[in-house]
Amino acid sequence: MNPHPIIRQLEQHIAVFQGLLEGQEAAAHRWRPRPDHWCLLEIVCHLYDEERKDFRARTRQALTGGKGEFIPINPEGWVSQHEYLKQDYTEVLRKFLKERAASVAWLRNLQA
């Protein structure tokens, strides 16, 4: 399997996320299409947590032949545990994009 196209897509998605998520009006950050759906702020916080605590951690374990089970995660619980609704949208988005770039760099270094 050639991982380069996947890594390239992950990198290209940075611009996609920026285009979709940057510059949103503050009112849009907490708007919910339905009461039981996440708002944009919660989604961005989720992306940030997933990038750090799920994607990169689990990919590292899988690629390095890590023994044992994956560390359990609780994405739905993170909403309250990490106080998503108290976070600053712009800051969390910046941190997510930085983490995605770090993931891409890490994956590229594995190929070197």
Q: Could you please report the per-residue DSSP string of the chain?
A: ---HHHHHHHHHHHHHHHHHHTT--HHHHS--SSTTS--HHHHHHHHHHIIIIIIHHHHHHHHTT--SPPPP--HHHHHHHTTGGGS-HHHHHHHHHHHHHHHHHHHHHHH-
- What is the distance between the alpha carbons of residues 29 and 21, in angstroms, rounded to a whole number? 9
The domain locations on the chain are 4-111
Per-residue pLDDT reduced to its tens digit, 48-93: 999 999 998 888 888 877 776 778 899 999 999 999 999 999 999 9
Whether this model's pTM surpasses 0.75:
yes
Q: What is the pLDDT of residues 46-57, one digit of tens each?
A: 999 999 999 988
| The dihedral formed by the CA atoms of 53, 57, 59 and 64, expressed in degrees to the nearest 10 | -170
Q: Is residue 111 over pLDDT 80?
A: no
Find out if CATH 1.20.120.450 is the number for domain 4-111. yes
Rg (CA), the chain: 15
Q: Which residues contact 43 (CB under 8 A, 6 or more apart)?
A: none
